C-alpha cells in the first residue's frame, strides 16, 4: 500500500537540469513538493542523506515474453519488470510484434493481455510494423488514439520483418503527417543475407560468423539511407540499438543539418565487444544479438556520442534467452541462435560507471536513462522527472555501494549474465513506483499487477538548429 505521505529527506536530488540537496515529499502517487526543510507532519520519513535521489529509470526498449518461432524470451512481464525494478527502472516500454498478415491492433491487445495484471511497474508499448498494407495507416491511426505514438520498422530480417523501400517510405510519410515517431532497426538486410549465405556455403557455422556477416558498414549504410528518406518527407526518426562509428557519424551529420534524428545505444555495446562472441565452447552464443557486438573502438566512439549529445538515450534491448535450451539451438548453425541479450536490470549500474570515470555528469546520466526517453516517447513530465505533479517513481541510489552483476545475484529469469564476475560501484537503496515501495534494501516488496499501462502523448523532441 502507498503511504499517504512519504518524505525522502536530505538526499542529493539529481535531475537533467542539476543537482541539489533537497527533500522530496510524496503524497499518494505523486510528488507533492521538492525543497529544503519540508514539513514532515504525518509523513513516513526516509533518510536519504549520502544518497542520490533520481527519477526512476525509463527503459524504452524491452522484449518481455516475446515469441520467436516456438520459443519466447525467458523473462515475462512479471519477472522482467521485477528485474527492472531491482535495477532502478520504474517504466518499461516494450514492443508488440504482429506477424505479417496479423492486424497491428490485435497484436497490441495480445501484448496488453500478457502485461496487464503481471507488471510490477508501469509500462507502455510500441508496435512493430512488419509490412505496409492498405489498412496499415488506418491501424496506426487507431493505435495512436490508444496512446501508441511510436512504431518500429526493420531494414533487416528480409524473411519476416524487413520493409521494402516503398513500405518504409509510406511508414515515414504517415509518421510525418501524424506526429508519431518511427523507430528503425538500421541494418542492410539484403546485403547481410548475401554474406550469411556465402558463409554457410563455405561451412562457417560458429557464433563469430554472426558478427562477421553483419559488419558496421552495413549498419552505417542503412542508417544513411533511412535518415535521407526521413529527411525527404519531414519525419522524425529514432535509431534503435546503434552500435558503431559508421551509424554514429550518420546521426551526427543529420543532427548537424538540423534534422530530427535521435538515437539510442545499449550498455552491451559500451561494455562488451566482439571478443566476447569469439569465446570458445559455444560461450560466444551468449553474446549474439543484432546488430552484433563490435570491435572495442566503436564502444569508445559511443561513449563520445553519449557525452556530446549525438546519442540521446541508453535503453537495453532486453531480449533474454537462456543459454541452455534456447541459445544452444544454434550450436551447429549461428543462424539458429536466438538474437538478444539480457540487460533490463544492469543498465543503470553499468552506465553509472561512466559517471564514476568522469565521462558523464550525473545530470547527463539521468537524462540518458530517464528524462530524455520519457520525453521522446510521450511520458514526460509524468515520468522521468523529480518535480511537483510528477509520478512518484523515485530511485534512491547509493553512489558507492558495490553491486555484483553475476547471474546468481541478479533477478532476471535467464540462466547467465553477460557480465558474470563483474562488480561495480553504485547500487539501489530504494525504488518507489507511484509512491509504492517496490525495492527496499535488496528485497522486492512490490505487488504483481501494480503497474499500469501508460497511454502516451506524441513525442516531445528537442529542436536543433542547423550548424551549417
By CB under 6 A, name the binding residues for ligand URP.
63, 185, 241, 289-290, 317, 319, 339-340
Q: All 3 cell numbers of residue 143?
A: 493505435
Complex with ligand URP: residue 64 or 396, whichever CB lies closer: 64
Q: How far is the CB of 437 from ligand URP (least distance, A)?
A: 32
Complex with ligand URP: residue 149 or 339, whichever CB lies closer: 339
Q: All 3 cell numbers of residue 441?
A: 534494501
Complex with ligand URP: residue 305 or 340, whichever CB lies closer: 340
- Contact (CB, 8 A) for 86 and 345: yes
Q: How far is the CB of 283 from ligand URP (least distance, A)?
A: 17
The burial class, CB within 10 Å (0-12 / 13-18 / 19+), for 19 is middle
Q: How far is the CB of 128 from ligand URP (least distance, A)?
A: 9
Among 185, 245, 276, 294, binds Zn ion (CB under 5 A): 185
Q: How far is the CB of 157 from ligand URP (least distance, A)?
A: 8
Complex with ligand URP: residue 290 or 433, whichever CB lies closer: 290
Q: How far is the CB of 68 from ligand URP (least distance, A)?
A: 9
Residue of this chain nearest to Zn ion (CB atom): 185
Residue 288's alpha-carbon distances to 211, 292, 337, in angstroms, are 8, 6, 7
For residue 334, give every residue at least 6 positions away whose Cβ sits within 8 Å of its Cβ, in sequence order, or none.
Answer: 204, 205, 206, 207, 208, 209, 210, 285, 288
For residue 134, give every residue at least 6 positions away whose Cβ sits within 8 Å of its Cβ, in sequence order, or none.
Answer: none
Complex with ligand URP: residue 57 or 342, whichever CB lies closer: 342
Residue range at the interface with Zn ion (CB under 5 A); choices 36-44, 178-186, 273-281, 460-468: 178-186
Residue range at the interface with Zn ion (CB under 5 A); choices 135-143, 177-185, 226-234, 394-402: 177-185
Complex with ligand URP: residue 16 or 188, whichever CB lies closer: 188
Residue 219's alpha-carbon distances to 190, 225, 248, 294, 420, in angstroms, are 12, 10, 10, 11, 28
Please choose which of ligand URP, Zn ion, none residue 289 contacts, taking the beta carbon within 5 to 8 angstroms, the exact cut-off set by kind: ligand URP
Which residues in 311-340 contact Zn ion (CB under 5 A)? 317
Look-up: residue for cell 518507489?
A: 432
Q: All 3 cell numbers of residue 295?
A: 570491435
Q: How far apart are CA 337 and CA 10, in angstroms?
A: 49
Number of residues in contact with Zn ion, rule: CB under 5 A?
Answer: 2
Give the count of alpha carbons within 13 A of 115, CB side only.
Answer: 27
Residue range at the interface with Zn ion (CB under 5 A); choices 159-167, 179-187, 218-226, 346-354: 179-187
Q: How far is the CB of 89 from ligand URP (least distance, A)?
A: 17
Complex with ligand URP: residue 154 or 352, whichever CB lies closer: 154
Write b or e for each residue in 220-250: b if 16 or more Cβ atoms lie within 10 A of its Cβ, otherwise e: bbbbbbbbebbbeeebbbbbbbbbbbbbbbb
Q: Pattern 419-448, binding to Zn ion, x per CB under 5 A?
A: ------------------------------
Report the DSSP pairing between strands 150-154 and 181-185. Answer: parallel
Complex with ligand URP: residue 319 or 454, whichever CB lies closer: 319
Bridge partners (DSSP) listed for residue 94: 62, 125
**Interface with Zn ion (CB under 5 A):** 185, 317
Amino acid at each position: 500500500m502507498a503511504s499517504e505521505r512519504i518524505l525522502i529527506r536530505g538526499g542529493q536530488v539529481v535531475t537533467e537540469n542539476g543537482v541539489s540537496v533537497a527533500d522530496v515529499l510524496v503524497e499518494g502517487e505523486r510528488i507533492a513538493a521538492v525543497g529544503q526543510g519540508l514539513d514532515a507532519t504525518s509523513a513516513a520519513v526516509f533518510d536519504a542523506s549520502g544518497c542520490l535521489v533520481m527519477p526512476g529509470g525509463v527503459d524504452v526498449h524491452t522484449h518481455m515474453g516475446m515469441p520467436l518461432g516456438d520459443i519466447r524470451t525467458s523473462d515475462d512481464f512479471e519477472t522482467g519488470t521485477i528485474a527492472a525494478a531491482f535495477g532502478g527502472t520504474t517504466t518499461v516500454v516494450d514492443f508488440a510484434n504482429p506477424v505479417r498478415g496479423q492486424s497491428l491492433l490485435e497484436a497490441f491487445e495480445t501484448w496488453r493481455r500478457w502485461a496487464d495484471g503481471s507488471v510490477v511497474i508501469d509500462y507502455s508499448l510500441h508496435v512493430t510494423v512488419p509490412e505496409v498494407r492498405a489498412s496499415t495507416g488506418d491501424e496506426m491511426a487507431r493505435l495512436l488514439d490508444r496512446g501508441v505514438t511510436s512504431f518500429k520498422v526493420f531494414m533487416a530480417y528480409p524473411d519476416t520483418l524487413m520493409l521494402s523501400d516503398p513500405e518504409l517510405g509510406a511508414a515515414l510519410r504517415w509518421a510525418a503527417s501524424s506526429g508519431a515517431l518511427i523507430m528503425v532497426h538500421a541494418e542492410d538486410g539484403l546485403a547481410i543475407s548475401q554474406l550469411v549465405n556465402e558463409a554457410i556455403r563455405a561451412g562457417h557455422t560458429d557464433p563469430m560468423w554472426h558478427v562477421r556477416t553483419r559488419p558496421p558498414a552495413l549498419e552505417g549504410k542503412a542508417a544513411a539511407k533511412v535518415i535521407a528518406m526521413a529527411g525527404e518527407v519531414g519525419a522524425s526518426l529514432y535509431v534503435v540499438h546503434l552500435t558503431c562509428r559508421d551509424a554514429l557519424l550518420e546521426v551526427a551529420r543529420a543532427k548537424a543539418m538540423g534534422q530530427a534524428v535521435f538515437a539510442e545505444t545499449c550498455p552491451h555495446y559500451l561494455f562488451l565487444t566482439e571478443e566476447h562472441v569469439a569465446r570458445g565452447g559455444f560461450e560466444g552464443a551468449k553474446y549474439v544479438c543484432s546488430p552484433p557486438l563490435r570491435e572495442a573502438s566503436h564502444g569508445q566512439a559511443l561513449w563520445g556520442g553519449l557525452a556530446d549529445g549525438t546519442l540521446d538515450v541508453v535503453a537495453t534491448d532486453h531480449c533474454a534467452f537462456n543459454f541452455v535450451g534456447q541459445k544452444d539451438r544454434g550450436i551447429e548453425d549461428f543462424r539458429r541462435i536466438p538474437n538478444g541479450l539480457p540487460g533490463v536490470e544492469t543498465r543503470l549500474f553499468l552506465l553509472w560507471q561512466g559517471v564514476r570515470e568522469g565521462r558523464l555528469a550525473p545530470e547527463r546520466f539521468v537524462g540518458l536513462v530517464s528524462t530524455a526517453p520519457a520525453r521522446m516517447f510521450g511520458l514526460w513530465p509524468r515520468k522521468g522527472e523529480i518535480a511537483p505533479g510528477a509520478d512518484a517513481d523515485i530511485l534512491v541510489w547509493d553512489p558507492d555501494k558495490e553491486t555484483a552483476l553475476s547471474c546468481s545475484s541478479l533477478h532476471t529469469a535467464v540462466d547467465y549474465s553477460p557480465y558474470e564476475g563483474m562488480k561495480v560501484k553504485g547500487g539501489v537503496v530504494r525504488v518507489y513506483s507511484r509512491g509504492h515501495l517496490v525495492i527496499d534494501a535488496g528485497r522486492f516488496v512490490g505487488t504483481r499487477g501494480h503497474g499500469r499501462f501508460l497511454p502516451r502523448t506524441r513525442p516531445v523532441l528537442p529542436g536543433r538548429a542547423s550548424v551549417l
